[in-house]
Amino acid sequence: MTTQTKQFCYWHPHPAVTTDIVIFTIRDEKLQLLLIRRRNPPFQGGWALPGGFLNMNEDLADCAKRELEEETGIKNVYLEQLYTFGKHDRDPRERVISVAYYALIPSDRLTLHPASDATEAGWFAYDELPELAFDHREITRTAHERLVAKLDYSTIAFQFLPKQFTLSELQDVYETIRSEPMDKRNFRKWITARNLIEATGNERRNGSHRPAQLFRTKRPGRVEIIR
Amino acid sequence: MTTQTKQFCYWHPHPAVTTDIVIFTIRDEKLQLLLIRRRNPPFQGGWALPGGFLNMNEDLADCAKRELEEETGIKNVYLEQLYTFGKHDRDPRERVISVAYYALIPSDRLTLHPASDATEAGWFAYDELPELAFDHREITRTAHERLVAKLDYSTIAFQFLPKQFTLSELQDVYETIRSEPMDKRNFRKWITARNLIEATGNERRNGSHRPAQLFRTKRPGRVEIIR
DNA sequence: TATTGTTAGTGTCATAGGTACACTTATGAC
DNA sequence: GTCATAAGTGTACCTATGACACTAACAATA
């Protein structure tokens, strides 16, 4: 290969820009995230966050959405910019700036598109991650911190649940992400006082016990700041 | 131009990456920020945030620090990554990704280095900003939101003050940034209950009235999450 | 040295919200 | 009808917050 064929030339050096996405879901009562096995060096065969290079005609957020859909087949889920990682030596090939995003997948939308066809992908419990390529361990840690923090002051927890859910399921989301149990009565008092959810009138019966009321959020899709 | 050819060539198109900095301080009882007059198109002669292109051998945060020092002569102040702005058409010349930071300058360090020599720069009240170049208005708004939010749950307010300060000065910081008055007794109760500051034993007398006790933060330099 | 103007500094009461804590209810399986 | 299981519910205490008004200390000056 000669430099003649490198056709994108600039007066000043430019870094490459990628988006990497931490895709969270709750599976098997655990907070899990999606990893991709790398098919090329560096870190060939190792696990990494899904991500890819920014196209020149797409907004940053669209790039993240595109990657998300390519890897999961899922659209229209909660996606938020996390942080931009830009240490000069974070990629051994060339200078790469990674704008990290995180996404939350509701548990009922997992089975539809199990994974991407081409690449090997897998869900991993956040507590049992394998070694990750590049600085992706730092990225996942930052995403987890953000997620835990946002539980307290936003309605982000609903993004893990289907449109209708029981209060026990909602409490499970909080407990799973925080890794600590909560008092059932206090949790219900707290969440109902916030005026965020309403009973649908339906109930769910699964198992030989009292059926649970189903609730929905009053403003679905929106993640709001609460206090 | 010295070189005939654009010598930095890549297999895929690369965007340019800049850091832009929202530099806040409190001057004349108002929250102000530093703007630079643009010397070149586009928006020539207009006001913009200080910022500049990322060097290939420097970390993102170092780029922001360098720009900050170039424009203000000030080092070692609070600097935090804000958000990355990446709409595809945000710069008319070429694709530019801007990693925005914000910095807080203590009021006692303002007069040392009034501004950069080369470029025209000026402090503007946040409430009375002129038209800004590019999407810099959106960046300043995002920075302001972050600042207001962090007042509540972190010790960021101290970053606007010298090492020793009075409780009235501290309250002024909160009131200035929030644009609303606070009750003096409740404020003092609140801040002292947090165990963040201690009396130095010194007092300040300025004017014909009772002198004020001087306080300092127990852990200077550190911005902590409080609740 | 008494008066005045100015900012520093202080306490109480009512309310709301958080926390700790245990039993009853409804169902399906057997 | 008995049993196992998860759903659902109330009270008492404590802490934090918010509203509210006067005294203390100083410098200037009359």
- pLDDT tens by residue, B127-137: 999 999 999 99
DSSP for residue A195: T
Average pLDDT, chain A: 94
Cα A60 versus chain centre, distance: 16
Which pLDDT value is given to residue A156? 98
Q: How far is B200 from chain A (nearest CA, A)?
A: 34
Contacts of B65 (CB under 8 A, 6+ apart): B75, B79
Nucleotide nearest to B214 (CA to C1'): C8
Nucleotide nearest to B193 (CA to C1'): D16
* Contact: B97, A53; criterion CB under 8 Å: no
A188/C24 CA-to-C1' distance in Å:
17
B122/C5 CA-to-C1' distance in Å:
36
Which pLDDT value is given to residue A177? 98
Which pLDDT value is given to residue A179? 97
**pLDDT tens per residue across span B64-93:** 999 999 989 999 999 999 999 999 999 999
Query: Which residue shows structure tokens 């920020």?
Result: B33
Distance CA A31, CA A151 (A): 13
* Contact: A15, B12; criterion CB under 8 Å: no
Whose CA is closest to B53, among B82, B24, B14? B14
Q: Which residue of A has its CA nearest to B225?
A: A149
pLDDT over 70, % of chain B: 95
Cβ of B209 less than 7 A from strand D: yes
Distance CA A148, CA B167 (A): 33
Is B19 within 8 Å of B64 (Cβ atoms)? yes
Taking chain A, what is the end-to-end CA distance rounded to the nearest angstrom?
59
Is B103 within 8 Å of B66 (Cβ atoms)? no
- A4 to chain B: which residues are within 8 Å by CB? none
Of A53, A57, A84, the CB nearest to B99: A84
Instruction: Establish whether B120 is a catalytic residue.
Output: yes
Q: How confident is the model at residue B117 (pLDDT cuts 50, 70, 90)?
A: low
Nucleotide nearest to A209 (CA to C1'): C27
Distance CA B223, CA B227 (A): 13
Distance CA A29, CA B205 (A): 61
DSSP for residue A76: S
Taking chain B, what is the end-to-end CA distance rounded to the nearest angstrom?
56
Which pLDDT value is given to residue A110? 87
CA distances from A137 to A64, A215, B35, B124 (A): 19, 36, 37, 41
Residue type, B33: L
Q: Please state which of the four CATH numbers 3.40.630.10, 3.30.300.30, 1.10.3720.10, 3.90.79.10 is assigned to the domain occupying A16-152.
A: 3.90.79.10
What string of H, E and C letters represents the secondary structure of chain B?
Answer: CCCCCCCEEECCCCCEEEEEEEEEEEECCEEEEEEEECCCCCCCCCEECCEEECCCCCCHHHHHHHHHHHHHCCCCCEEEEEEEECCCCCCCCCCEEEEEEEEECCHHHCCCCCCCCCCCEEEEEHHHCCCECCCHHHHHHHHHHHHHHHHHHECHHHHHCCCCECHHHHHHHHHHHHCCCCCHHHHHHHHHHCCCEEEEEEEECCCCCCCEEEEEECCCCCCCECC
**pLDDT tens per residue across span A181-196:** 999 999 999 999 999 9
Burial B136-156 (b: 16+ CB within 10 A, else e): beebbebbbebbeebeeeebb
- B85 to chain A: which residues are within 8 Å by CB? 60
Whose CA is closest to A35, among A125, A146, A142, A159? A125
Whose CA is closest to A105, among A95, A96, A115, A94? A115
Distance CA B60, CA A41 (A): 25
* Contact: B61, A13; criterion CB under 8 Å: no
Q: How confident is the model at residue A115 (pLDDT cuts 50, 70, 90)?
A: low
Q: Provide the Cα torsion B135, B139, B141, B144; round to 10°.
A: -160
Q: Would you call A37 helix, strand, or coil by DSSP?
A: strand
CATH architecture, domain defined by B161-217: Orthogonal Bundle (1.10)
Instruction: Mention the CATH class of domain A154-217.
Output: mainly alpha
**pLDDT tens per residue across span A78-92:** 999 999 999 999 999
Of B3, B56, B95, the CB nearest to A15: B56
* Half-sphere exposure (Cβ direction) of B84: Cα atoms closer than 13 Å: 29
Q: What was the ipTM of the complex prediction?
A: 0.94
**pLDDT tens per residue across span B141-200:** 999 999 999 999 999 999 999 999 999 999 999 999 999 999 999 999 999 999 999 999
Q: How confident is the model at residue A3 (pLDDT cuts 50, 70, 90)?
A: very low
How much is the CA Rg of chain B, to the nearest whole Å? Answer: 20
Which pLDDT value is given to residue B118? 67
- Do B16-152 and B161-217 have matching folds? no
Average pLDDT, chain B: 94
pLDDT at B6 over 80: no
Catalytic annotation, pick one of B29, B58, B120, B224 = B120
Element (H, E) at A203: strand A197-204
Q: Look up the pTM and report it.
A: 0.95
- Give the domain ranges of chain B: 16-152, 161-217
Q: How confident is the model at residue A1 (pLDDT cuts 50, 70, 90)?
A: very low
Could you tell me the two tokens for B166? 């009075």
Could you tell me the two tokens for B218? 């127990």
A210/D3 CA-to-C1' distance in Å:
14
For β-strands A121-125 and A30-37, DSSP reports them as: antiparallel
Distance CA B78, CA B103 (A): 5
CA distances from B222 to A76, A223, B62, B217, B225 (A): 39, 31, 19, 9, 10
- B84 to chain A: which residues are within 8 Å by CB? 60, 81, 84, 99
